[in-house]
Amino acid sequence: MRILKNDWLLLIARLVLGGFFIYAAIDKIAHPADFAKIVHNYRILPGDLINIFALFLPWLELLCGIALVAGTYTLGASALLSGMLVMFLVAVSAAIARGIKIDCGCFSTSGDGAREVGMPLIYQDTALLLLGIWIWARGSGRWALSHFTSAAR
Amino acid sequence: MKRLVGQAVLLTILALVFGLGRNMVGSNTIPWVGDWAERDSVLAEIAKNPEALPASAQDGDPPFLTLAQAMERHSQPDVVFLDAREPQDFEAGHIEGSLLLPFDYFDDYWPAVQEKLTPETRIVTYCSGAECELSLFLARHLRSIGYPNVEIFFGGWTIWQEGGQPIESGPPTS
């Protein structure tokens, strides 16, 4: 599997996964109240934790996304993003299994262009998770900030 | 492994600092603990009795739609949603694609809306929700002036929004 060792592909994977999460985070950071409602709709977290979680999660998405794109703290960022994707997969599966029809809150909190939870979302998150695990296993590769600065890889 | 944990912890702490810190400054803040119990009780009330009808409903009124039925109508491009509330309510937020036709100022707004309708057009009226009957009055009136295919989404803006359905805001575009 030489393809898995290609540094250019690794760079693309980092840009795709990182860019995805940066994009996903921005609207949630801008609309915390709406995002909290979406978290509540999933009916997983206890009520007292919902707002704190809704404030914290988008920033974690953003920081990890930036780290991946820049290619620094790659190990921690890819592990956290993979963890988040597992969490999203569990939450979406639970919503599907319980028959809750909700806006997934993936990219937009406003309901414009909203996506309902469903199988396409499972496929998308699974694909992203594979990218995340690959980056996690490989590290940042050659085309990364850490490679040039000898900062944390 | 040590490096992995160190990086993950640092990123997590930074996210907490930024996320919680941002909620302490600026205007776009939310309470640390939300009143979800109240929202749940509203939703439970609706779930218990989704077909609740307005007090003034009578036999022979246009059909009332549940949220699921309203969603189905909304997915069809030829169905027109009419918002019977005040213009400022409409501007603050309304069902995506709906037109403004306040029942209280019907004559002022009717000409602009009429252009977009034919007597065959399928229409859904709504207002703010369970405590408002403007949608019913508007639907009755429309039927009386020759628009028979009118239905009422009595759950209205409240239920639509709580159900996480598509919304938009701003003045009507003509």
pLDDT at A96: 86
Considering only CB atoms, A59 lies closest to which of B3, B18, B168, namely B18
* Nearest by Cα to A153 from A94, A73, A50, A89: A73
Is the pLDDT higher at B58 or at B92? B92
Closest chain B C-alpha to A95 CA, distance in angstroms: 14
pLDDT tops 60 at residue A153: no
Decide if B121 contacts B87 (C-beta within 8 A).
no
**Are A61 and A24 spatial neighbours (Cβ–Cβ below 8 Å)?**
yes
Per-residue pLDDT of A24-37, as tens digits, reads 999 999 989 889 98
> Confidence class of residue B47 from pLDDT cuts 50, 70 and 90?
low
Sheet holding B79-83, edge to edge: B99-100, B79-83, B122-126, B150-152
**Burial of A113 (C-beta count, 10 Å sphere; 0-12/13-18/19+):** exposed
**Backbone torsion region of residue A34, taken as left when φ is above 0, otherwise alpha when ψ lies between -120 and 50, otherwise beta:** alpha
Global pTM value: 0.64
pLDDT, averaged across chain A:
88
Residues for chain A: how many in total? 153
Angle between helices A47-70 and A32-42 (to 10 degrees): 110
* pLDDT for residue A99: 72
Helix (H) / strand (E) element for A90: namely helix A74-97
Q: Counting every residue, how long is chain B?
A: 174
- Tell me the residues of chain B between 82 and 121 that have a Cβ less than 8 Å away from chain A: 96
> Which residues in chain B are contacts of A75 at CB distance < 8 A?
3-4, 7
- Rounded to an integer, what distance in angstroms lies between the CA atom of residue A50 and that of residue B40? 13
Q: pLDDT (tens digit, 9 = 90+) per residue, A92-130?
A: 999 888 877 677 888 877 654 556 788 889 999 999 999
Asked whether residue A40 carries a pLDDT value surpassing 70, the answer given is yes
pLDDT digits (tens, 9 = 90+) for B138-167: 999 999 999 999 999 988 898 888 888 889
Q: Nearest by CB to A67, which of B11, B18, B37?
A: B11
| Closest CA of chain B from A26, distance in Å | 12
Tell me if A25 sits within 8 A of A61, measured CB to CB: yes
At position B118, the amino acid (one-letter code) is T
Q: Using a CB-CB distance cutoff of 8 angstroms, which residues of chain A are in contact with residue B3? A: 75-76, 152-153
pLDDT at B101: 95
pLDDT at A97: 86
How high is the pLDDT of residue B1?
83
Search chain B and give the residue with CA nearest A59: B15
Rounded mean pLDDT of A48-63? 96
Mean pLDDT value across residues B1-21: 94
pLDDT computed for residue B43 by the predictor: 61
Token pair recorded at residue B133? 């009957």
